[in-house]
Structure 1
Amino acid sequence: MKLLPTTPLEEVEQRGVSLFKKTFDSDPQIVAHAPGRVNLIGEHTDYNEGFVLPLALEMQTVIVGKKNGKDTCRVASEAFEGLVEFKPSKDLKPGDPLWSNYIKGVVVNFLRNGYDVPAFDAVVVSEVPVGGGVSSSASLEVAFATFIEAIGHHHLEPSKKALFGQAAEHEFANMPCGIMDQLISECAMRDCALLIDCRSLAFEPVEMKDPNTCILVCNSNVKHQLSGSEYPLRKQQCKDALTVLQSLDPKITSLRDASLEQLNEVKDRMSEVAYRRARHVISENDRTLEAAKYLRKNEYEKAGKLMTESHFSLKNDYEVSCKELDFLVDLAMGVPGVYGSRMTGGGFGGCTVTLLKISSLSSLLDKFEQEYEKHTGITATAFVTRPGSGASYKKLE
């Protein structure tokens, strides 16, 4: 299996500049960008006010544009035909094309919170894979929030920009996501994962600089659509478990406050499904905090073991994996030098993330190539990433 190349950011920016000039017959003034992410561990904990440990990809979404001095925003995308036009207004509604809703949602949230949004011309160019569980939507939201911050001469707290992106996702894409994706896209630090407390939005860098270790992201190329019933259903099941736990102790305001001992104490008072959902979330918070501790000490075997335990909890207790993701994890764990592997993202397809020795990379890729398509009929794709940096913008000369 060949690795997908990582296009240098400068090349992606230049594609954006060229597309802008072709589309609008003028020169842009601002380039903004924000990365996708992969989550090492801490899945489906963010909307339960828990802990997550993501890192930014080196792949970025780039916005190139400028104020246009008119009353209408115009946006083009390298990936889609046509030009989207809308007036910046608090009353904007979702519509077609669907990709433009993430942008409209960010615009609306700036306006509702008292920030001016001048009409603009802009183009979108992205290297972040769509539908692979690596947060292409969050990278688009945060990149556009950064672009608006630049053209509007605003200075927002990073957490506020992330919350604007999350709100856009909730209202304009009908996706009740947590805050992790937007926060890591905004706040990421090069060569570090971030241990994020999704209640306080506080975060700590977890350095990952070992040159002998790498992170492989493998896309199962099974597509998922999370805004259907499954994601909201999991969220409701967690709430059901929380309600029972609160009858035991009213100080438990989210699942992150509960222990497995407390959960087992009230197990008979909730449905078996709600129990398993809560068991995943509570144990996943513990695993995430432990994994961060081990990574800081370069104890990759221990951190990797927790990643693999996370996958089986997601498979069995949270039931968001699928046979293709399970197969990729099984293949990875059969290769010497692999520390741990798990599904990453919301589930029902998308990617796995694997922590391994660089010396084992070619063996793992060979294993994926030989076995995955033969068993599934699908060709997987993969890329290696280092922890990248978060959103930023620059003015063009």
Structure 2
Amino acid sequence: MKKKLVQLVTTSFKEKFNAEPAHIFLSPGRINIIGEHVDYNDGFVLPAAINKYVCFAVSETENGECNLYAKDLDESYSFNLNDDIKPVEQMWVNFFLGVLYQLKERGFAMKGFNISFSSTVPMGAGLSSSAAVECGFGYALNKIFNLGLTKQDIALIGQKAEHTFVGVNCGIMDQFASVFGKKNHVIKLDCNTLEYEYHKADFKDYALLLLDSKVKHTHLTSGYNDRRNEVEKGLAILKEHYPEVKTFRDLNEEQVTAVKEQLGDVIYRRCLFVVREIQRVLDAVAALEDQDFVKLGELMYKTHDGLSKNYEVSCEEIDFLVDAVRNDENVIGSRMMGGGFGGCSINLVKKEAVDGLIERVSKEYKEKYNITLKAYKVKVAKGTTIYKEQHAGI
């Protein structure tokens, strides 16, 4: 798959620019094993890069001329490096311009470039195709023009590009996972300090399977903003009762429950989810260290139930996908992944049962919603990188 993607992008670059590309880069999408909606609540997350990539073929130009070609859309965009850089109508272009704007602001000396790119990271499935584009592009410019950026710089530049040019106020997890990914390892990331550690994630007899509901309900943004407001209110009330508390990390379930009446039903359930989810990430790390995948799976189900009932960011279709595998002996864990209101469920499935499961759930889902389910078998992969074989006759 990787070779095929590299070949496709190399060929498209040759056709577009009438030359061989000087460099090939790969930037992965990501999954999050557990730790949902805690990146903005002072918690920990447990993401990993996956073997779905955005591939870039790149060469520099001499005259400041910059040409971008999106192979999958068959769309081009050209500008000069010395132009004022502002967001444009073509949304995909803003992922590039946002990163370039950050680099220009920092005063880096660069030349122009030709880029052709294509992706196997599914759009809109919650696998962070946008972070893969931002980080891959930042990584490429850093390598080609010797900018001296660290991996953390690249992730933060990608995040800021998303805030300023794309208009999505995302946390740091997606970009961090894309850049820092390590094969067969998950990253325990502290979203406050950006301290991180790797934990081995060789799932042995189990495979990671994503089931894409193919739905995206429109209240993702409004629902997300509402949740942020609700937990902020909740934390303020909890701090009044417990002056020593600075963040949700300092609280336990009993403390939240003791203030239930003052919080009110909705805010109580939101805060309860956050405190439990922060603990679940720590429990999941311990389960991975012990290679206790059954325990990890149980935590995933608990996360889903919390997201669905207490945080209320799931939707009927995703609940259906989780419930469809809940009593299947070949599935040890399943949950909604990402912001919610659609997207994918992430499942831990016995390797030999994957194809049969896809067939069964696809049929049931089609009968219920008349939607064709998409399934992605993924592996934990390494982060953004230069593709080593770009001159090996591909």
TM-score (norm: length of structure 1)? 0.92
1:11 counterpart letter in structure 2: K
Aligned to 1:386: 379
Q: State how far apart, in whole Å, the 2-side matches of 1:181 and 1:263 are.
A: 29
**Matches of residues 109-128 of structure 1 in structure 2 within 5 Å?**
109-128=102-121
* Unmatched 5+ stretches in structure 2: none
| Residue 266 of structure 1: how far off its partner (Å) | 3.4
**Matches of residues 236-247 of structure 1 in structure 2 within 5 Å?**
236-247=229-240
User: Retained in 1: the 8 A contact 2:135–2:179?
Assistant: yes
Matched residue SS, 2:215: coil
| Residue 111 of structure 1: how far off its partner (Å) | 2.2
- CA root-mean-square deviation: 2.0
**What is the aligned-residue identity percentage?**
34
TM-score (norm: length of structure 2)? 0.93
User: Retained in 2: the 8 A contact 1:90–1:111?
Assistant: no
Q: State how far apart, in whole Å, the 1-side matches of 2:219 and 2:6 are.
A: 30
Aligned to 1:304: 297
Matched residue SS, 1:220: strand
Aligned to 1:181: 174
Matched residue SS, 1:176: coil
Q: State how far apart, in whole Å, the 1-side matches of 2:192 and 2:107 are.
A: 25
| Residue 382 of structure 1: how far off its partner (Å) | 0.7
Residues 176 and 154 (structure 1), Cα distance of their counterparts in 2 relative to 1, 3 Å cut:
same
* Unmatched 5+ stretches in structure 1: 1-6
Residues 317 and 31 (structure 1), Cα distance of their counterparts in 2 relative to 1, 3 Å cut:
same
Aligned to 1:362: 355
Q: State how far apart, in whole Å, the 1-side matches of 2:250 and 2:38 are.
A: 12
User: Retained in 1: the 8 A contact 2:52–2:121?
Assistant: yes
Identify which of 135, 147, 161 aligns with 1:154.
147
1:132 counterpart letter in structure 2: A
Matched residue SS, 2:45: strand
Q: State how far apart, in whole Å, the 2-side matches of 1:294 and 1:274 are.
A: 30
User: Retained in 2: the 8 A contact 1:131–1:224?
Assistant: no
1:230 counterpart letter in structure 2: G
Matched residue SS, 2:237: helix
Q: State how far apart, in whole Å, the 2-side matches of 1:212 and 1:89 are.
A: 54
Q: State how far apart, in whole Å, the 2-side matches of 1:227 and 1:92 are.
A: 29
Task: Select between 94-103 and 261-270 the one with higher mean Cα deviation.
Answer: 261-270
Q: State how far apart, in whole Å, the 1-side matches of 2:89 and 2:113 are.
A: 19
| Residue 249 of structure 1: how far off its partner (Å) | 4.1
Task: Select between 105-114 and 290-299 the one with higher mean Cα deviation.
Answer: 105-114
Identify which of 309, 315, 318 aligns with 1:325.
318
2:138 counterpart letter in structure 1: A
Q: State how far apart, in whole Å, the 1-side matches of 2:217 and 2:178 are.
A: 21
| Residue 374 of structure 1: how far off its partner (Å) | 0.4
Q: State how far apart, in whole Å, the 2-side matches of 1:307 and 1:245 are.
A: 27
Q: Map Cα deviations across residues 265-301 of structure 1 (whole Å, 9 max, x no partner).
A: 4333334333322222211111111011112211111
Q: Map Cα deviations across residues 139-163 of structure 1 (whole Å, 9 max, x no partner).
A: 1111111111112212322222111
Task: Select between 128-137 and 291-300 the one with higher mean Cα deviation.
Answer: 291-300
User: Retained in 1: the 8 A contact 2:238–2:256?
Assistant: yes
User: Retained in 2: the 8 A contact 1:107–1:117?
Assistant: no
| Residue 225 of structure 1: how far off its partner (Å) | 5.6
